[in-house]
Homo-oligomer: A and B are copies of this chain.
Amino acid sequence: MGKDFYGDLQLGVLGGGQLGRMLIQEAINYNVNVHILDPDKNAPCRKLCNRFECGSLSDFETVYNFGKDLDMITIEIEKVNVDALEKLEEEGVLVYPQSRIIRLIQDKGLQKQFFKQNDIPTSAFQLISTKENLKNTNLTIPYIQKLRKDGYDGKGVKKINTVDDLETAFDEPSLIEEWVDFEKEIAVIVARNDDGDVATFPMVEMEFNPEANLVEFLIAPSTYGFDIQQRAEELAKKIANDLQIVGLLAVEMFLTKDGEILVNELAPRTHNSGHQTIEGNYVSQFAQHLRAIFNLPLGDTRCRTNAVMINLLGEEGYEGLAKYEGVEEILAMEGVYVHLYGKKFTKPFRKMGHVCIINDDRELAISNARKVQEILKVKA
């Protein structure tokens, strides 16, 4: 990197939500000048960066013009205009993760084919163009239908449980995947820098809110056996190397009931399944992402203690100006860290913040997290 990047470097981030916000909290330590592009004029990062530009992430001209005078660009969301990033890369702007990786991951069909080509264990699948194709698929019901593009946080995903559900199936290019009757959803965040150094955070266990289809509860480190953790972490490293990614990669996996690990999806960025690293690990995922994209030595990913992360979701039945209940009460508890995302408006299941609960006693961390979940509410 030609510049002395502690002070001079102009870093663009596509997306100005909570991930960008927590990245800024860390980037401050390195004097990085952060530029944010986000379509929402009230985006969580709007007042915390050198330049905030309100504009579309999917428009070629907007993304290209935003990036053309910057040194480096990263993302906090995959749904961005990749053609613009490709052109910026050609013109010498560093884009991490690389545009080809974003393009691959944007399409759940290509992602799945990538797994297959690289011997990465994943569930059986098929790609279809219209729902007509579902009539002669090889997969047996139940299965999952995912739109190949633009799905996010559970949107664009349907479970087909019965023949009747075929009627309401998406009529668009989709991926269908065999239903995995998993024992646990697990995730590993891996980082790779341009020198090729690779490091994984310890595997975490996730619990989803089935209604919202969001991670709402996450525990690290895992108590599964060393063998399982090692396999999950090796798999994440293999994928980072196969992709030759620069930056962070979140690898979401299923641990099946017979101990097999199947890769579900990738996110080439900081991820909800790594928020507990801020208090729980020696280096946070945000610090690690910066180290990776700046080609610095990767940090120490070990856990400092047990950490449970819960998402703070907008309460059902409330929409409007956000009001927070119970913050004072949970701050009286030991080892509780609140992260609000600066979102003005709440709606049901919107991610409004998260809370990290740490404790050297794992069971206490979990029971404290359950208490926090009962006490803390976002209403309107």
Contacts and interface: CB of A to CB of B under 8 A. Distances in A.
A342 B31 contact: yes
A28 interface: yes
A323 to B, nearest CB: 5
Contacts of A291: 331
Interface residues of A, number: 39
Contact of A282 (B21, B25, B300, B335): B335
Number of identical protomers? 2
B47 A339 contact: no
Interface in A302-317: 304
Given A4-B323, A7-B322, A339 B297 contact: no
B300 A335 contact: yes
Interface string A272-293: 0000000000100000000100
Given A29-B339, A30-B338, A297 B4 contact: no
Given A296-B328, A328-B297, A340 B21 contact: no
Contact of A327 (B6, B49, B299): B6
A332 interface: yes
Nearest to A47: B50
Nearest to A29: B339
A312 to B, nearest CB: 11
Contacts of A331: 291, 296-297, 299
Contacts of A24: 28, 48
Contact of A21 (B21, B28, B321, B334): B28
Interface in A128-170: none
Nearest to A295: B328
Contacts of A31: 340-342
Contacts of A338: 29-30
Contacts of A323: 4
A257 interface: no
A344 interface: yes
A324 interface: yes
Contact of A29 (B33, B48, B304, B340): B340
Interface of A: 4, 6-7, 21, 24-25, 28-31, 33, 47-50, 282, 291, 296-297, 299-300, 304, 321-324, 327-328, 331-332, 334-335, 337-342, 344
5 contacts: A4-B324, A7-B344, A21-B28, A30-B340, A297-B328
Which 10 residue pairs are nearest across A and B when measured between Cβ atoms?
A: A297-B332, A31-B340, A6-B324, A47-B50, A29-B339, A31-B342, A297-B331, A296-B331, A25-B25, A4-B323
